Every structure is written in C-alpha cells, then in structure tokens.
Structure 1
Amino acid sequence: MLYSDKAPDPVGLYPHARRVGNLLFLSGVGPRKKGSKDIPGVTLDNHGNIIAYDIEQQCHAVFENVRFILEASGARWENLVDVTVYLTNMKADFATFNKIYATYFKENQPCRTTVEVNALPTPIAIELKCIAAFEDK
C-alpha cells in the first residue's frame, strides 16, 4: 500500500495507490488539499452543501494530487495508461474539463472514460480513478 505525504488523506480505509506487478492502481483522487477541509474552487453553505464551484480550479487541483501520488509511488505522469473521470455535472463541466485535460495530456494520451455521477463522497465536482504502468527494465 502506497501513500503520498503531499496528497490529501483518503476519506476511508484505503491507500492512495497499490502496485501489482508493473501496474499501479490509484484510489479515487479528488481536488482536496492536504491538511485542509477547504476544497479549491468550492463555496459551501452552513450545512456543507455546495453553493458554487469552479471546475477549472478543481481540475488543476485533482491533476496535482494525481501527480503527487504517482511521484510518491515511483511513477511519472507519462506512466498513466487509463483514466476514469467522474463528473457531477457533465452538461456544465465536460467542455471545460476536456480543454484542461488536453493541456495535461499533450504527449501521453491514456485511455479515458468520463461518466456523470449524482454525487461524490465529499462536496467535490470531479474525481479521477487512474492506472499507471511501470516500464519494463
């Protein structure tokens, strides 16, 4: 089981990542920041409900967290081979997400699936599930 000291703590009993053979499986990664309850680009009401959010800020934050976990696990961004994207509002956020995604994956283009979900475990609008492959030596 692998953990990053820069990525936010998991919200349950699971590691940031787990290596099996030459594959690295990342648990779901959101945009939260390590050591803070604040979520980049999210405004909550007094009951913890989302009032407003900025999908651009969340996209950049989630990609940063993925990078932290990859690096802590001995992998690189270029090792990503599969990305599953969970968005809570496909209609409003997909075009923006897709534009930002393209800037991060100009060279390496992993397989990708994007789905809309009703909610995520914390008040976030995006979560990524990633698989990386270590190069054979």
Structure 2
Amino acid sequence: MSESVRTSAAPAPVGAYPHARRVGDLLFLSGIGPRDPVTNEIPGNEYFADGRVHKYDIEAQTRAVFANVRAVLEASGVRWEDLADVTVYLTDMARDFAAYNRIWAEYFPDPASAPCRTTLGIDALPTPIAIELKCIAALKEAR
C-alpha cells in the first residue's frame, strides 16, 4: 500500500505525478527542481529576448532546490535528517560541481550522517533548470 504526497509549499510537478510517495518505511521523492513554488520562476536565471537561458546561478538554484526538497519532506512528516539517498542531476558537471558540492557541505556538514549521494552530469532537464534532485528518505517507526 502506498500514499502519494502533494504540497503547495513546493513547485507543482511538471507532469502527472506526485511530489512524493510513501511505500512501506520509505518516502520516494519525485525529481525536485529549484522553481519558486509561488511564482514558478527559476532563481538566478537570466534570459535572452527569445526566452533561451543566457546565464544561470547554480548557487541560487542549489539553495532553492534544497528548500523545495525540505518543503516536500515536511509536508510528508519527514525531517531533513531522514534523507537516506540523493541522486543529483547537473546539466553542466564541469562548471557546477564544485559550487554545488560546497553548498552540499553547508547543509550536510558531517559526512557520517549525510545521506548517500550520486551526482550525474546530464544534457538537459525538462525545464530550463541546471539542477534536480531525486531523493529517498527513511520513515521513522513512530510516525
């Protein structure tokens, strides 16, 4: 048996899927990006007149994606510390990994208690974002 989770505290999914789904003792988050949940804008993006991205700020997007992940976790009754596994998608690994990794260390200062992490460089994401996270959290028995 599973239960889906949707919240207005995070940006709406860009397709027909929930923000997260509880299955047994695990919470699986769908891909979460940095869009603002109220305005749908992407932090740090600057655009050409034709709508293509001219410039983006990976630090602003990283902080925003972490805030959106936290919002989905909280809506699910799960804490940030309950994250067990995170898959990170970066559209420009060479340019953005160092900045992303530095911010990761701010949010997870102790590697011993940080979630497992895999970081992948990919060609594109469905919207003009530079980062997306796919997460799994462990549910506590008391919840």
Question: TM bucket by the smaller chain?
Answer: over 0.9
Q: Output the TM-score relative to the length of structure 2.
A: 0.92
Match of 1:53 in 2: 56
The one-letter code of the counterpart of 2:6 is Y
Partner residue in 1 for 2:126:
121
Q: CA deviation at 1:16?
A: 0.3
Unaligned runs of 5+ in 1: none
1:5 deviation in Å?
Answer: 1.6
SS of 1:61's equivalent? helix
Aligned length: 137
Shift of 1:4: 1.6
Q: Aligned-residue CA RMSD in angstroms?
A: 1.0
Could you tell me the percent identity over the aligned residues?
60
Does the aligned pair in 1 maintain the 2:11–2:40 contact within 8 Å? no
> 1:48 and 1:11 mapped to 2: Cα distance?
18
The answer to whether the Cα contact below 8 Å between 1:85 and 1:113 also exists between their aligned partners in 2 is yes
The answer to whether the 8 A contact 2:35-2:65 is kept is yes
- Measured after TM superposition, the shift of residue 135 of structure 1 is 2.0
Provide Cα deviations, 1:2-58, integer angstroms capped at 9, x if missing partner: 012210000000000000011000000000011323110111223331100010000
- Structure 2 gaps, min length 5: none
Aligned mate of 1:23, from 21, 26, 32: 26
C-alpha distance in structure 1 between counterparts of 2:109 and 2:130, whole Å: 23
Q: Deviations for 1:81-126, whole angstroms, at most 9, x for unmatched residues?
A: 0000000000000000000001111243111000001000000000
- Partner residue, 2:139: 134
2:47 matches 1:44? yes
How many angstroms apart in 2 are the aligned matches of 1:21 and 1:37?
Answer: 32
SS in structure 2 at match of 1:123: coil
